[in-house]
Structure 1
Amino acid sequence: MNRENEILVAGEALIDFLPEEPGPIAAVEGFDRRPGGAPANVAVALARLGDAPLFWTRVGDDPFGRYLHETLAAYGLPERFLELDPDAKTSLAFVTHDETGDREFSFYRDGTADTRLEPGRIDDAVLADLEWIHAGGVALSGGRSREATLDLLDRAADRDCTVSFDPNERPELWPDADTYRTVVREALSNVDVLKATAGELSRLGFEGESAEAIARDAMAVGPEVVFVTRGDAGAIAVAADETSWDGIARHPGYDPDVVDTTGAGDAFVAGAIAALREGRDLAATLSFANAVGAAATTAAGAMAALPDRETVDSIREGSIAEE
């Protein structure tokens, strides 16, 4: 069965500059250029898993943007909605790592192409052929892309597309915490599947004494399933009782040789989308998504280690064998 192009991923593609050594940005002497952006990572990860989506993004018609356009197409993403903007530059993000591989970002994204997505670009005829829409929080942080993304999610929900969302919290891109909470919570009213950390959920105003309780509080505003990722402690998933995904599941995660955690959460999202679309239950979905996320940490760059299904299966089988 050909399942390609039944998913649309929307949002930023940008250039990540990865440091040649850990430490603060002022102390790093060299950086390597890599393709990135959370939605771009999700789209490529889905393509690697055999669910190649449409990807709606906008990059500058500059050397960085043309490089991204060529790279995304080389990964098998259709070019239909890979837009080149002649009047804006491509976003850049400088990444720094600590000794454990955790990272921080410094963005150059003022008026760049990915902030200029146009509302209505994904029209109703396109939506009619889609099963799933995924978006992230960075596109909501400013520019016309906020309006375009909210419009897309609203119309997708009206047409019974499954909508997934990752807030991908980047405080430096928002004018203030109140705006972040207000805009993201508006988006969540049209979201079915939410992936976030417990900290992100708390900063969005959701409350609870445990990750499960916070997830259930978030479900009150829209999502039917909430995945709470916990870094090297794995993840939990909570689903509303009235859905086909009802229940709660926990998975401890895997133990890869971590090189770079950039994009691990995006890989997890792609794994969750792929597994849910196949009809897997929450426990199997968590196992699969965690394996995709673990694989993505084993090389530098968000896309460099995105796995195919054979790699994911080997990670899961290896974990079972060790037990």
Structure 2
Amino acid sequence: MNTNTNSYAVCFGEVLWDIFPAGSRAGGAPFNVAYNLDKMGLNVQMISKIGDDELGNDLLKQIKSWNISTDFIQIDEERPTGTVLANFDEQGEAHYDIVQDVAWDHIKILPEHKVLVTNAEAFVFGSLIARNEVSKNTLLELIEHSKFRVFDVNFRPPFIDFDFVKTLLGKADLVKMNKAELRQIIEFLGEEYADEDKSIKFIQDHFDLNEIVL
């Protein structure tokens, strides 16, 4: 893709394998956004990192099979490809173990990333990627090069840093969250959760946000 002439979006963050009892599938919230943008016919680039291992090779093959660019997915020779282990309890509720200190925790910023994000129509990111200082600092630097910032809140306990979430809300142009995340953010801000409309209006005014998608 010629990033100088074509409109495109950049998604930043985790690419990984969701491992279920019945099998595995490629995932990670920012990659899911990239996948769906691509299916909508939009140009998209993914900035992430995988391990130099069998899971990483399989992930690259899977992504390429969907004709999604892997040009900006780094290879980590020390840490493994990210995985999420999913199990179900007796009530059928899913529980997720997001394995720590994996490749996507250590996305290093490169000069070409800054150029890529500067020229993109949108820069999409979540909060989980900030659980490690390396990827967190890369995110903070790339945000400053973006002209339109899309924050996909995507809380994943225990990796929730509300102070940093406030920082990201303050830098975003558009924020996407679910109802549970809306309630958590309102409570963290010390407000009473009255109803969705009032809560959204409060967050929108507090952080001077153009739009919130619930």
Class of the TM-score when normalised by the shorter of the 2 chains: 0.7 to 0.9
TM-score relative to the length of structure 2: 0.86
Aligned to 1:125: 115
Q: Deviations over 1:196-233 (max 9, x none)?
A: 123213323244411111112221214211111xxxxx
Q: Deviations over 1:105-157 (max 9, x none)?
A: 11212x2100001135554432332111101111012230111112211221x
CA–CA separation in structure 2 for the residues paired with 1:52 and 1:100: 41
In the TM superposition, structure 1's runs of 4+ consecutive aligned residues that sit over 6 Å from their partners are 98-101
Three-state SS of the structure 1 residue aligned to 2:47 is strand
- Which structure has the bigger radius of gyration? 1
CA–CA separation in structure 1 for the residues paired with 2:62 and 2:6: 18
Farther off after superposition, 116-125 or 76-85: 116-125
For structure 2, list consecutive stretches of 5 or more residues without a partner in the other structure: none
Aligned to 2:158: 172
Deviation at 1:73, TM superposition (A): 1.7
Identity %, equivalent residues: 22
1:220-235 residue pairs with structure 2 within 5 A? 220-228=206-214
Change in CA separation of 1:35 and 1:5 when aligned onto 2, cut-off 3 Å:
farther
Aligned to 1:249: none
Change in CA separation of 1:5 and 1:59 when aligned onto 2, cut-off 3 Å:
farther
Change in CA separation of 1:101 and 1:162 when aligned onto 2, cut-off 3 Å:
farther
1:213-252 residue pairs with structure 2 within 5 A? 213-219=198-204, 220-228=206-214
RMSD of aligned C-alpha atoms?
A: 2.3
The question of whether the paired residues in 2 share the 8 Å contact of 1:140 and 1:184 is answered with no
For structure 1, list consecutive stretches of 5 or more residues without a partner in the other structure: 21-31, 175-179, 229-323
**Do structure 1's residue 34 and structure 2's residue 19 form an aligned pair?**
no
Farther off after superposition, 197-206 or 212-221: 197-206
The question of whether the paired residues in 1 share the 8 Å contact of 2:74 and 2:107 is answered with no
Change in CA separation of 1:225 and 1:102 when aligned onto 2, cut-off 3 Å:
farther
TM-score relative to the length of structure 1: 0.59
CA–CA separation in structure 1 for the residues paired with 2:93 and 2:173: 29
Change in CA separation of 1:43 and 1:101 when aligned onto 2, cut-off 3 Å:
farther
* Alignment length (residue pairs): 206
